[in-house]
Structure 1
Amino acid sequence: MSLTEAKTSKNKIIRTAAVPGSLYGLLKGQLHFLNQYYDIIGVASEGPALQLVEEREGIQTKAINIERSISPFKDVISLFKLYRYFLKEKPMMVHSITPKAGLLSMVAAYFARVPVRAHTFTGLIFPTQTGFLKKLLLLFDKIICNFATHVYPEGNGVKNDLLQYKVTKKPLKIIANGNVNGKDLAYFDPLLFSEESILAEKESLGITDKDFVFIFIGRLVNDKGMNELVDAFYQLVQKHSDVKLVLVGSHEGETDVLPESTWNKLNAEKRIIWVGKQDDIRPYLALSTALVFPSYREGFPNVVLEAGAMGLPAVVTDINGSNEIIENGKNGYIVPSKNEMALLKAMTLFVEDPSLVSAMAKNARAMIADRYEQSFVWKSILEEYERIISTTD
């Protein structure tokens, strides 16, 4: 089926996620693009973001509550509601992107006899767990794959974990080098920010032109490597005083709470500048010298892509996604996860070798543009939809 035929037939595709924020944030613009060729419906839990998705993307949405945590009674209710809705709408495809939505959507779509059932693994939780919880989460992922007709890992790291743990024997295809939505390089463009605006922002934060500015963007939790980052930075500033660390993110509502000792250090060190969660991270990337992202696990971290698009080299941990975006020594450095001393060594190298940082910065944006430019990713997804739907007809 050609793209013209696809647009004429307007096959119905339902995209599902547990929370509307996933549709809103992870698939920005993509749903509107796909809606030119197919009838796209977004399904997620009730919330203001779902209405925003409908308005911004110009698609139909449906609120069906899906708990992110394990909740057997509520999960059965959600499963039944999804089944009834799929039965009513009779879509050609259901495509899910978050774990719980994937579990319930794939099972419901199977029993509702939806021809194409696709799931994208944006990250795996079970590899970092232990005991019964690990076995349970692994079982859930096996169920997703069992009921899905097509499985898409977001990157080679996720693919390798699915293979290593024998989650499925079905073909695993990575679309467009891995990232689910790509990056809008016209939006993440350092040239949008003048020297005057950057200087004004620096002054408001107490940053001088002499400062080397590291930036971290993400949730302020243990799992993001915050303990190692704060400790490494504490040691770094003992030797180098003209260094700042900007933290962009929140800890509110999190269960993975940082220990009091980390909070005490974070609050006591004046060279750590915590600006909270920000809707627009670009001004903070524009004033920074390098990203530092010592997370324990990711699927395919948008933060590393966005920092690269803004021309920043990065220090990242050797985890899924991060180690695919960063090439050691070319656009950043990769260090072992949960290793404070390795993190400190890399950060020190960045501060002490400005020519190296400058060379990596020149490569950063070009490497993102070459592999993750948004229109390329969208076109690749559309072509994959065309392929799998045409083979199903």
Structure 2
Amino acid sequence: MKIVVLSSHTSSLYWFRMDMMKDFIKRGHSVIALGSEPEVDWKEKFNKHNIDYRQLYVERNGINPFKDLKTLKYLYQLMREDKPDKVFAYQAKTVVYGSIAAKLNGISDFYPLIAGLGSIFRGRGFKNTIIKTIMKTEYWIACKFSKKIFFQNNDDKNEFIQNRLIKEGESIIINGSGVNIEKFKPTPLPQEPTFLFIGRLIKDKGIIEYLEACKKIKWKYPQIRCLLVGPFDSNPSALKPEELKPYLENEVIEYFGEQTDVRPFIAQCSTFVLPSYHEGTPKTVLEAMAMGRPIITSDAPGCRETVIDGVNGYLVKVKDVQSLINKMEFLINNKNTCKSMGQESRKIAKNKYDVKIINQSIMKIMGL
């Protein structure tokens, strides 16, 4: 079969969905991957895995309806010409416009993944309410044109049911994107306590809480390290470079920018921290778990699924810096707990989040 995989973020396609697309190919199917970045930068990288990469015109965070119509037109023409048998899509705009384009081309096998509801869906305010109302309508249409809807946590699924976007039985829960446990192997913990945050530098990821917690921790424990990996972003809640600057100048944070391989940085940390406000299931947390790290994350949708509180890490209150500091300080002073929690993380990653298990579930539902 010919399968189209849609995303509005090319690097996410490459790093988060590559194992899934390779499994499609292993079963004899062909894959076309569509993302927002130029083909000149990405086509060869995908071709090495026998995947045909195409650039999709899409504004990930824009609200211009004429530009969105351009996205829909492109998707409609591509599906008319390539005639895919099945379409897998994730991220809001590619889910919505991909579903409409598939329907207009008579493609019934459309499978969206709702990989976390963003800040707009859960935010407040007049402007946010208007945009959220539009998004709900669009998601309702997308779900009506879908054969099955994938969710990564029950909070998001229940949100859709409560808003009457789907009915019970129209969806299935999968345990995130999974993690390649053969690629992400356990490594020894460092001698000095070291904390690490990996993610886009947007406020909804809890970056401000992490920076503030690190500032207070470093004041009390100057020998510890606080690492930060991830790109600046165009999201409305994105952290600006000038907001990060004081933490760099005061040597609170060691910032390494965006990285193509996060394993060397996970290997440097003793605890992984992600105080996000909401997620689908955070891929970086799964990678840190697979490498044997305890996790401090928020008691929030998508995050709480990854941690058994007190077993492989701790859940902290959303937007609560002091709660975060308390758990960071405890693990600084309890290295044996840190080690045992890391071992539990690895066990959970193997038993629950192995990418092979996740992909088998996806392929079974998609009839592959």
Counterpart in the other structure of 2:316: 335
Counterpart in the other structure of 2:97: 104
**Which of 202, 216, 221 pairs up with 1:240?**
221
Query: CA 1:295 to 1:52, structure 2 compared with 1: closer, same or farther past 3 Å?
Result: farther
Counterpart in the other structure of 1:173: 171
Q: Deviations over 1:260-311 (max 9, x none)?
A: 9953541243242122222111111112110111112211111100110111
Query: CA 1:347 to 1:65, structure 2 compared with 1: closer, same or farther past 3 Å?
Result: same
Counterpart in the other structure of 2:162: 164
Counterpart in the other structure of 1:3: none
Q: Does 1:188 align with 2:178?
A: no
The answer (yes or no) to whether the contact 1:156–1:174 under 8 Å persists in 2 is no
Q: CA deviation at 1:333?
A: 0.2
The answer (yes or no) to whether the contact 1:16–1:94 under 8 Å persists in 2 is yes
**Which of 40, 54, 58 pairs up with 2:31?**
40
The answer (yes or no) to whether the contact 2:193–2:332 under 8 Å persists in 1 is yes
Counterpart in the other structure of 1:64: 56
TM-score, normalising length: structure 2: 0.89
Q: CA deviation at 1:363?
A: 0.7
Counterpart in the other structure of 1:140: 138
Written as runs of structure 1 = structure 2, the 5 A alignment for 1:368-383 is 368-383=349-364
Specify the code of the residue in structure 2 equivalent to 1:56.
Answer: K
Q: CA deviation at 1:51?
A: 0.6
Q: CA deviation at 1:117?
A: 1.6
Structure 1 window deviating more from structure 2 (332-341 vs 158-167): it is 158-167
Q: CA deviation at 1:172?
A: 4.2
Q: CA deviation at 1:57?
A: 2.5
Structure 1, unmatched stretches of 5+, are: 1-10, 200-208
Q: Which has the higher Rg, Structure 1 or Structure 2? A: 1
Q: Deviations over 1:143-162 (max 9, x none)?
A: 21122221111222322222
Q: Deviations over 1:333-374 (max 9, x none)?
A: 001111111111111221122222222112111110111112
Counterpart in the other structure of 2:148: 150
Query: CA 1:323 to 1:384, structure 2 compared with 1: closer, same or farther past 3 Å?
Result: same
Question: Partners of 2:276 and 2:154 in 1: how far apart?
Answer: 17
Structure 2, unmatched stretches of 5+, are: none
Structure 1 window deviating more from structure 2 (339-348 vs 323-332): it is 339-348
Coordinate RMSD, CA, aligned: 2.4
TM-score, normalising length: structure 1: 0.84
Query: CA 1:232 to 1:81, structure 2 compared with 1: closer, same or farther past 3 Å?
Result: closer
Query: CA 1:249 to 1:363, structure 2 compared with 1: closer, same or farther past 3 Å?
Result: same
Query: CA 1:295 to 1:95, structure 2 compared with 1: closer, same or farther past 3 Å?
Result: same
Question: Partners of 1:375 and 1:260 in 2: how far apart?
Answer: 38
Counterpart in the other structure of 1:16: 6
Query: CA 1:349 to 1:72, structure 2 compared with 1: closer, same or farther past 3 Å?
Result: same
Q: Does 1:85 align with 2:78?
A: yes
Secondary structure of the 2:364 match is helix
Secondary structure of the 1:215 match is strand
Secondary structure of the 1:102 match is helix
Counterpart in the other structure of 2:123: 129
Aligned residue pairs: how many? 360
